[in-house]
Amino acid sequence: MKANLIFNPNGQDDVIYRTIIKWNTTWLFQLNSTKYSWAKSLYQVMVWNFWIPEKVSGLWEDATQFHTSLTEDEKIAYKWILSFLIFLDSIQTVNLPNFSDYITAPEVNLILSIQAYQEAIHSQSYATILETVVDSKDREDIYYFWRTDKHLLERNEFIWSIYQKFIDEPNDENFFRGIIWNFLLESIYFYNWFAFFDTLADQGKMSATGRMINYIRRDELTHVTIFSNIIKEIKKEFPDMYNENIIKEMMEIAVIQEIKWSKHILGKNIIWMGYENIENYTKWLANERLNMLWINPIYTNVVKNPYKHLDRLQDNNWDRGNFFESTVTNYSQSSAMNWSWDF
């Protein structure tokens, strides 16, 4: 594979011939002539979802609750979960342009640039939480927990190695594995942690952190949808490159890692969580994510979400079934100009 030119005077922009990768485009953003309607829909949603952590009030109350209301197990989980989330969004912010350099649909590149921006906002959010809630003497340890915890270091190195292999050897297989891993990172790796913060909020604890996490989760759902659509377009346009067995193999690795790390950090003493729920939730979620790619479940004995009671705390502005099929229901679309609105 070859990275895109910044400008290609000899390129072709005809929509009828455009493909998600490997197309000879000029790199002109002619956004009234696009092929992938799901990218246009996601662009609108992602722009409307704009937020900054400074607008989330109540973190000072969380700082008080952190010291007075959380158990020792909850304090440990709160801090070390932030450590992993900081790593995930840091590596996503840095790495997304490496994928974007090989995407040849301008409308898809546009939403990848918004995704990278949102990942940076998430990193700012975690920093804001640390500065407000956590004692200053603990912050450095949280940022660099991977230097002292072998489980986290092993996990971080595995994620990095998938991305680095594509950067070092940008061929078809490494690109495919890279975008699959991006999909898995966005769709599997965050959600036990989101459930932890929801569990605290359900008990009236750390409500401001919970609200910020809801904003982050809303963004992450769009990121999951971006990469599920990229994968499906590759299946349609480049069937020789697509490999369902690789997807299943990588999903199983992600599930094993997520369960292992979640048990390591959350232990047995977080209310409503526990080892059995962690394992069942991760496998249930894996089946849901595979369904987004039109792949049958691999954990057939898990059919229910054990954290269903937390649904009421999660963003309710989405019709979730439609969302995962990329049909967004909560915005008005102009018939004349689908890329902008009157504010």
The residue annotated as part of the active site, out of 102, 126, 163, 215, is 126
Residue partners of 15: CB distance under 8 A and separation at least 6: 33, 34, 35
Helices (H), 238-338: 244-266, 274-292, 320-324
Q: What is the pTM of this model?
A: 0.88
pLDDT, residue 108, reads 95
Residue 84: exposure state from Cβ atoms within 10 A (0-12, 13-18, ≥19): buried
pLDDT band at 342 (very low <50, low <70, confident <90, very high): very low
pLDDT, residue 332, reads 33
Mean pLDDT within 274-292: 93
In the chain, the number of structural domains is 1
Any domain includes 336: no
pLDDT at 187 over 90: yes
pLDDT at 36 over 70: yes
Any domain includes 59: yes
Residue 343's SS3 state is: coil
Mean pLDDT within 77-92: 90
Q: Determine what percent of the chain is predicted with pLDDT higher than 70.
A: 90
pLDDT at 138 over 80: yes
pLDDT band at 337 (very low <50, low <70, confident <90, very high): very low
pLDDT, residue 26, reads 85
Mean pLDDT within 189-211: 91
pLDDT at 180 over 90: yes
The residue range of the domain holding 144 is 39-324
Any domain includes 343: no
Any domain includes 48: yes
d(CA 86, CA 126) in angstroms, rounded, equals 7
Mean pLDDT within 112-130: 94
d(CA 105, CA 341) in angstroms, rounded, equals 22
Any domain includes 337: no
> Domain of 269: which CATH number?
1.10.620.20
Q: Is 126 a catalytic residue?
A: yes
pLDDT, residue 312, reads 63
Mean pLDDT within 99-104: 94
Any domain includes 332: no
pLDDT, residue 314, reads 56
Any domain includes 85: yes
Mean pLDDT within 273-300: 94
Residue partners of 26: CB distance under 8 A and separation at least 6: 7, 8, 9, 11, 12, 13
pLDDT at 206 over 60: yes
